[in-house]
Amino acid sequence: MDIFQYDFMIRAVIAGAIIGVVAPMIGIFLVVKRYSLLADTLSHVSLVGVAAGVLFGFNPIVGALATSTIAAFGMERLRESRKMFSESVLALFLSGSFAIAVVLLGLSHGLTVDIFTYLFGSITTVSAGDLWVIGLFGLVVIAVTMRLFKRLFLVSYDEELAKTSGLPVTRLNILLMVLAAVTVALSMRVVGILLVGALVVIPVLSAIQFGRSFMQTTWLALILSLLAVFTGLFASFYLNLPSGGAIVVVCLMVFALSLAFNRHQT
């Protein structure tokens, strides 16, 4: 257990634990809502904030939080207007934000080591400041989600039923989008912008294979996510692998096992 002799690994494990809880907690609503690609779209939007932070000299995580939150508002407004299909909104923001990020990276003299750590994740670069940001906003996301869990589920499962039940559907949808944006921005330090969508979605898909109730599926997704994060971090440290890639590979292995279990049960 010499892994815990290093401060950067202790910070990475704590950050990973927070992200391992937050990501599937939001991801399960996105999967039920059939909006799984939202995480990937927001990750590309977050890259704009990271590039702006590198260019103008402020904390890239703060930039990612700002740009992804603003984009979440914009996407939900377009979706609510009924003038564009949901997948079209995602495609618009995904491609558009990526183009803006490329331009900003060009102005900051191209890809740097810092940018690569945000793209693919790096356990060695989680600073004490990053940990405070991840911890604070992570706890906010967890608290809000637990407080509104049943309402968010109903809005995700059936918007029409939620409206007839008197719920503020538009505000809850915007809140869910913002929570997803914050989750993506927080996760990029450990998992990486290009892989964060996998951590949000794959543990949920794995848990669904066991055919439990919604609440049980949520808890199982949290357990599988934490298992993937910790196993991936340990593999990253001892095998000298990129943390984001290692975590997602473990997620895929868990998903394959869950599929095998589901096939055996049927």
Within-domain flag for 136? yes
Inter-residue contact 19 to 186 (CB < 8 Å): yes
How far is residue 50 from each of residues 97, 114, 118, 165, 219, measured CA to CA in Å?
Answer: 12, 9, 8, 40, 32
Q: At 12, which CATH number? A: 1.10.3470.10
pLDDT of residue 148: 93
- Confidence at residue 110, expressed as pLDDT on a 0 to 100 scale: 58
Q: How many domains does the chain have?
A: 1
- Determine which helix (DSSP H) or strand (DSSP E) holds 257, and give its type and residue range: helix 243-265
Q: Give domain status of residue 222, yes or no.
A: no
**Identity of residue 80:** E
> Do residues 40 and 167 lie in contact, with contact meaning Cβ atoms separated by under 8 Å?
no
With respect to residue 149, please indicate whether it lies within any of the assigned structural domains.
yes
Cβ proximity of 186 and 138 under 8 Å: yes
Q: pTM value?
A: 0.86
* Within-domain flag for 57: yes
Domain membership of residue 108 (yes or no) is: yes
How far is CA 199 from its chain centroid?
6
Per-residue pLDDT at 80:
75
Handedness of CA 51, 57, 58, 61 (dihedral sign): positive
41 located within any domain = yes
Note down pLDDT in tens along the chain; length 266 residues.
677 787 888 888 898 899 999 999 999 999 988 887 888 888 888 888 888 887 787 778 888 888 988 888 888 788 777 666 777 888 888 888 888 888 887 777 655 556 777 777 776 677 788 788 888 989 999 999 999 999 999 998 888 888 888 888 888 988 898 898 888 888 887 788 778 888 899 999 999 988 778 899 999 999 999 999 999 988 888 888 888 888 999 999 999 999 888 776 65
Domain assignment of residue 25, given as a range: 2-197
Residue 166 confidence (pLDDT): 86
- Answer yes or no: is 189 within a domain: yes
Is 218 a member of any domain?
A: no
